[in-house]
Each structure stands twice: as structure tokens, then as C-alpha cells.
Amino acid sequence: MSADRTPPQDGRAPRVREGGRMEKLARLPVFYALAGKRVLVAGGGEPAVWKAELLSAAGARVEVIAPEICEEMWHLAGAAPDGHIAIHKRPWAPDDLPGAALAVADAADEAEAGRFAAAAHAAGVPVNVVDKPAYCDFAFGAIVNRSPLVVGISTDGAAPVFGQAVRAKIEALLPQGFKAWAQAAQAWRGAVTALGLSFQARRRFWEDFAARAMAEPGRVPNDTDRDVLLAAAELGQGAPDVGSVVLVGAGPGDPELLTLKAVRALQSADVVLYDDLVSEAVLDFARREARKMLVGKTGYGPSCKQDDINALMVQLAREGRRVVRLKGGEPMIFGRAGEEIAACHAAGVRVEVVPGISAPQGAASRLVASLTHRDHARRLQFVTAHARDGKLPRDLDFHALSDKAATTVVYMPRRTLPDLVGELAAAGIDPATPAVAVFSVTRAEEKIVWAPVSGLAAAVSAAAEAGAAGPCIIIYGHALSAAEGAQALADGGPRAARL
């Protein structure tokens, strides 16, 4: 979090997130247009074959110069992927380099690598020497080819096998059909440009295009798709830009728990309004150009007023912005989503909700515990321990919350936990009922504290003093018995705190 977020004592105003700039890059990923350009490959062995094939596939006129040429290189020259491959069976010379767009060498030793790199630099030609990164101006990475959609992967030469493993993972995730959609985008771009659409209208066209591609990657796009998308773009051209609000559940913290729909919403956002409970790792999924604003809803501390958040959200949408209201956990469970939805409806702003993994779900996964074990629980109930005045709500049904056949999840319990435990005891809860407090659930700093209900308040207080921090939820009920027993064995004693 940025250092300028120290709030005034009476609350705080929304703040634009500072930082978030691009981190240091080992290499700059670029995609070089080589069609029709001359590229020199000095080397005729197998290491040079792949480089020559790749360069030809990009449309380059490849000149292979080497005293010895392997059979595979001769075969490649006779069946070049795209650009012509010419072979010269002789040693390379410095005079071969001027005028080349790129130069690649499979050098026999360090001395030859140094000579080739020096000659290339003297001719002003970027150079790559196979397996000798010290002499390379550029590097070849692993490639996922759905051309014109191309994905490049680099480990800066540190772990090529790892790069290949990442490539295989991406290959599995990207349908082969994306190639046809990318080709259609290339073919239709001129027609879209000719319409003279506004920036927002063009963006809507391509977002609608991408939505179709994502929904039907196995289908080849046709003229009907183009005509429908172009007609929709023309129809909306004269209308004022209308913004929208999407309430997105960020999950409990682990960015891998984001849904695909949440990622797509973040990638299309103009503005992201986020809470303190949203982790930095989740914010990294937002579109880089999006404006990210902290609107500071956090328990027990200075926070932006809800009315101010509502007004800002509506104002940005009315300006034509796509606003993502990013909330920790699941926005429809104690996330004040109702108030924000009502504000949007009252202002005539379109609003939708993208659900997220809730904190109890995240906690259950970390505890490896079923909250609705049929031998122990017939009901799962969520309550908040924090009323508008910051105190324990007085209208809670403490007899229902003491039901031995229920699993109960308590949100925002830290300040009022002693009062809650006292009310549960008065309502007749079994004092030995298993309970657990989970701080910063699913995050690297996660802390899990087990205790019976009767000792829960003391255990949570001790954990906080020992350094446990972040959002905390309480879960209690006999459905936790199996998970508690497994944790006791792992920790070496009953109801131990894992700190």
C-alpha cells in the first residue's frame, strides 16, 4: 500500500493508488516485423535450424552462411515456412552483415562469438549468439503460435526448460480456434476504422468481438459476425457514452481464487474503486491503464463514508467510465452491496455483480473442513458482530447462534468477541464447542487459531498480541470437530494455535 494513506482522524477521502508501475524487466518483449527483410544466420548445424525456421516463419529473407550445412538445414531451405531461405556454403565475413535487419550466429567458441558480435555492432545490426547470452542484443523465447495472435515467453536464458513448461501451460489454455478469430480481427480492422467511430465505440466493438471469441473459440467467425458487430457499433455511435458499475468479489486474498469473469471485468475497467481488504496481488489483474482508487472500507478504523463512495461511483459512471467496485470476499455477503446497488438504480446507472469466493469458503478450504457435515450440521448461518454503532448487534438471535446442530460464521468479530461469547454462554451454548479464528485467510500471512468457544476471546486476543493481523472471521460448530482433531495432531496437542 502507498505511504500517503495515513487518514485524518475523522475519516478519509478516496485516494488514487500511487505506485503500481511496471517492475524491472530482464528483457523488453517486442514483436519485430521481419516480412521481406534480410536476416543473416551464421551457422549450418542443428542449433541454427530452429532459428532459421522461426525467422522464415516471420517472413524474413534468411541467408544461411556456414562452411558445413546439416541435412535438416537443406531440407528446411527446400520447404521454408514463409520467407525464402538461401544457403551459402562458406565461412561468414564481416561484409555479410551490413544491411541485415538481424544477425544470428551459432559460434563454435567464445572467440568466434566475440568476433561475430563485434562485426554486427560495427554494421549496426542487432545480434544473437546461440547459447551465449553475454553476446546477445536480443533473445529468442518460447512461443505459443496462434498467429496473428502470438505469445512469447522469456526467462532471460536462466531456465529454458521452465520457459517451455510455461509455454505448454499456455498452449493448453489457448484454444486453437483463437487463430481464426485473430485472423478475422486482422481482416476486419480496416472496416472498423472506416466507420470513423469514437474511441469508446471502437472499444465496445472489440470488446464485443472478444466476448464472442471467448464464448465460441471453436467456431470460425464469418461475415454475419462482422456485420452484426459493425451494425451494433454504428447504432451506438450517435449515443452518448454510458458508463456502468460492476461490483466484483475479489475473494479472500489469494489472487488465484479470482473468477475468470472477475478478471475480465478488471481488465476492461476504466476505474477501480477498492477497499483495504483487497490484496495488492488482486489489483495486479486490473488493466494497467485503469485508475485505481482506495475507498477505504475497513473495520474499526477511519473509512470513507458510504455516501461518498456511492456518489463517486455514480459520478464516474455518468462520465462514461466503466467502474469496477472491487470488494474483498463476496460483495453480497456483508459487503454493503445493497446500498451501492440502490444508489446506482436511483441514478439510472447500469449495475451488475460478479460474485467472489467468500471468506468462509476460503477458510473452509484452508481448514480442509466441511461446514455442513451431515453428521453435525443442518444449518449454516452467517452473522455480523458489528452493528452501525460498532457494538454487538442487540437483535441477534443468540439461541439460534447457540444451536449445536448449526455451523456459524461471524464476520467482523474482533472488537465485540468477548460480548458475543458471553451472550452465547448465557444462551446455553456448549462451552466445548469447537471454534476457530482465521486471520488474513488464504494469504501468505494467514494465521489460524483453534479454541473452544469458551476460550475463544482470550485465544484471539493472544494471537493478535503475537502478531496475527488482517481481517478475521470466526467459525464455530461441531462440524469442525474432524478438522480440529487433524490440526491437533499436526500441532502436537489439543486446540493448539498455529502462529
Q: Is the pLDDT of residue 406 over 70?
A: yes
- The structural domains of the chain, with segments of one domain joined by +, span 38-140, 178-235, 242-357, 360-498
Amino acid (1-letter code) at residue 91:
P
pLDDT at 159: 84
pLDDT at 93: 97
pTM of the model: 0.69
Place of cell 472489440: 206
Q: Does residue 91 contact residue 65 with C-beta atoms inside 8 Å?
A: yes
pLDDT band at 312 (very low <50, low <70, confident <90, very high): very high
**Which range, of 242-246, 306-310, 349-353, 450-454, averages the lowest pLDDT?**
242-246
Per residue in 362-382, is it b (16+ CB within 10 Å) or e — as a string? bbbebbebbbebeebbeeeeb
Largest CA distance in the chain: 95
Place of cell 521481406: 36
pLDDT at 289: 85
Most confident of 113-127, 134-148, 305-319, 326-340: 113-127
For the stretch 248-288, pLDDT in tens is 999 999 999 999 899 989 988 999 999 888 888 899 899 88
pLDDT at 371: 94
- Separation of alpha carbons 478 and 408, rounded Å: 10
Centre a 10 Å sphere on the Cβ of residue 318 and count the other Cβ atoms it contains.
15
Length of the chain: 499
Q: Which three cell numbers stand for residue 468?
A: 496475527
Closest CA to 243 of 212, 278, 210, 203: 203
- Cα 433 to Cα 19, 370, 406, 421, 451, distances in angstroms: 46, 16, 11, 11, 9
- The residues carrying an active-site annotation are 275, 297
CATH ID of 38-140, from 3.30.70.20, 3.40.50.9100, 3.30.410.40, 3.40.50.720: 3.40.50.720
CATH topology for the 242-357 domain: Cobalt-precorrin-4 Transmethylase; domain 1 (3.40.1010)
Closest CA to 279 of 362, 364, 170: 362
Which of the two residues, 2 and 66, has the higher pLDDT score?
Answer: 66
Q: Is the pLDDT of residue 494 over 50?
A: no
pLDDT at 11: 56
Q: What is the CATH number of domain 360-498?
A: 3.30.950.10
Place of cell 555492432: 121
pLDDT at 36: 96
Q: Does residue 255 contact residue 282 with C-beta atoms inside 8 Å?
A: yes
CA 287 to centroid of chain Cα atoms: 10
Q: What average pLDDT does the chain have?
A: 88
pLDDT at 3: 35
Find the angle CA(294)-CA(252)-CA(450) to the nearest 5 degrees.
130
Q: Which three cell numbers stand for residue 125?
A: 545490426
Q: Does residue 179 contact residue 171 with C-beta atoms inside 8 Å?
A: no
For residue 282, what are the contacts with CB-CB under 8 A and spacing of at least 6?
Answer: 250, 251, 253, 255, 258, 326
pLDDT at 237: 63
Residue 450 backbone class (left: φ over 0; alpha: ψ -120 to 50; beta: rest): beta
